[in-house]
Amino acid sequence: MGFNGISGLVSEPGEIPWELMVLYFALALLFVFWYGRKEGGLSAFKTVDYVYIGIGAAFTVVWEFFIGPVLDRFLPSAATAYIGFGFFGRIFIIFLIAGLVRKVGTGMLSMFIFNLLGDIFHYGFSGEPIYTIYETLTYGLLVDIAIAFTHGNLFGIEASADKKATVKKTDTSKNLAEPRMRERVFAALHDRKTVLGIFTGGVLGMSWSLPGVMFSGFFAPFLYGGYVSWASILFTTVSFIPGDIVLGAIAAVVAMRVARILGQ
């Protein structure tokens, strides 16, 4: 046993060497501080950004802890309590919030607040502060790297997007036949920005499959003890990559839509 339900085991069979973990988190922290100093860090955030992040975190909690676990039962590989439909919900909402705020730090801040909220509603602060550090500096950081990489135009959403909804008028003929799904998808894919957004969402979604390796390979034994099954880790990671890519892409499309609706 150890502090706050953390076993603190670092030399279980198959466990990722703790030195590697320390190195990763040290580098991640260095990057965060360097970039924060360069770009102004949290001072660049307006109050409305904190509101978006707060509402997003509320939605993520509802999905991940209450709706997701119900849906998880549909998933054959719901082998752990941390990956599954609930996790897809997390991808969906966090990406959406990142698409709305688009400031470096959104990802980490969202994960930090989501973790605190998760502790209040579900986990009861067990395993803290390890969880928060782990999730903020992996999932959160990946989102922020994507925002930095796209110069704040995540998923092709630009700051100069229409402020207020302007609706293009269509033909006024009274034909009520709808375009077919294939035609709609085809038309959407002709838009370069949409394709770029979907691509970014897919890549970011795929990148979110990777911290799971870190969790199962180091944090699970570190927090709870037990051995590490790399066969299981590989199976889980590989089986989730397609789902995460698809969800990431869908999240990007929805983020583009919601950003347009809200005039963000």
Binding residue for other proteins, selected from 54, 145, 149, 203, defined by CB under 8 A: 54
Binding of other proteins at residue 143 (CB under 8 A)?
Answer: no
Binding of other proteins at residue 261 (CB under 8 A)?
Answer: yes
Binding of other proteins at residue 188 (CB under 8 A)?
Answer: no
Binding of other proteins at residue 235 (CB under 8 A)?
Answer: yes
DSSP labels for 157-181? --TTS-SS--PPP-------PPPPH
Binding of other proteins at residue 254 (CB under 8 A)?
Answer: yes
Tell me how far, at minimum, the Cβ of 195 lies from other proteins, in Å. Answer: 18
Region 68-87 residues binding other proteins, contact defined as CB under 8 A: 69-74, 76-81
With CB under 8 A as the contact rule, which of the stretches 26-34, 135-143, 196-204, 221-229 interacts with other proteins?
221-229
- In terms of phi and psi (left: phi > 0; alpha: psi -120 to 50; beta: otherwise), the region of 8 is left
Binding residue for other proteins, selected from 33, 34, 186, 224, defined by CB under 8 A: 224
Q: How far apart are CA 196 and CA 88, in angstroms?
A: 21
Burial code (b: 16+ CB inside 10 Å, e: under 16) for 166-183 equals: eeeeeeeeeeeeeeeeee
With CB under 8 A as the contact rule, which of the stretches 29-37, 137-145, 191-199, 216-224 interacts with other proteins?
216-224
Binding of other proteins at residue 220 (CB under 8 A)?
Answer: yes
With CB under 8 A as the contact rule, which of the stretches 27-35, 42-50, 136-144, 148-156 interacts with other proteins?
42-50
Binding residue for other proteins, selected from 203, 229, 241, 246, defined by CB under 8 A: 229
Binding residue for other proteins, selected from 21, 28, 61, 98, defined by CB under 8 A: 61
Binding of other proteins at residue 208 (CB under 8 A)?
Answer: no
Tell me how far, at minimum, the Cβ of 74 lies from other proteins, in Å. Answer: 5
With CB under 8 A as the contact rule, which of the stretches 18-26, 32-40, 165-173, 194-202 interacts with other proteins?
165-173
